Amino acid sequence: MMRKLWVAFFASLVLAMPSWVSARSHAGGGADVHLPVGHMWKHEGLDEQKWMEMVQKYTPEQEEEWKKVLDERNALRQQLNDENVKQAIKEKCKKMKKEREAALDRLIDQLVDKKITKEQFKKEWKQLHKKKQRMTKEEKQQLHLLHEQTRQAMENNDQEAMKKLLPQWLDHMKKKNERLAKWLQEVKQG
């Protein structure tokens, strides 16, 4: 038992991956300074209004499509606030966590019993870790880049850049809505 604990502890230390996301803070002041892009997600009442202001200013031809995507997002969020859905999500997360823990225990046993190599263990562990992620590392990096480009375009009042970036945001939001709808469907099915 102690050996398994030690191996589990050692494996978690060896295989722990640092987060690629760096915390950045953007100071803003003055009434006419644009809010950093990340700020739009922090205050639910502000974000939809801010998105629509930007769309109307830079890509008014996409206004109806944006309204549709934002309405869908709001409907999905309302579903998330339902108590039955919250409970189902909690149960699904518990189940997934237990499955990952059991799989990790099996991997540790195989490593201890020398049925797999350390390299095979790392590979399998990474696969387990990937299963719980909602976005791939590449998607996270692309989103981070999109955030940064949008922040810079807003600070510089770069209309051409905003005209190119807003359609990318629209695509991102559509994908996010699809993922959330799929997740909600899985949760509701049990």
Q: Which pLDDT tens digits describe the chain residue by residue (190 residues)? A: 545 544 454 444 444 433 333 333 333 333 333 444 444 444 344 478 888 999 999 999 999 999 999 999 999 989 888 888 888 888 888 988 898 889 888 888 988 888 888 898 888 888 877 666 677 788 889 989 999 999 999 899 999 999 999 999 999 999 989 988 988 888 888 6
What residue spans of the chain are helical by DSSP H? 2-15, 39-42, 44-58, 63-81, 83-112, 118-131, 137-155, 159-189
Run of H or E residues at 147: helix 137-155
The predicted structure's pLDDT at residue 10 = 45
The tokens for 101 are 């823990």
- Cβ atoms of 140 and 20 within 8 Å: the answer is yes
pLDDT score at 167: 95
Instruction: Quote the pTM value.
Output: 0.64
Q: Residue 160 is which amino acid?
A: E
Q: Where are the domains of the chain?
A: 41-55+62-81+136-190, 84-132
Dist CA 85 CA 104 (whole Å): 28
Structure-token match 């909690």, residue found: 90
Question: Which pair of tokens denotes residue 66?
Answer: 């944006």
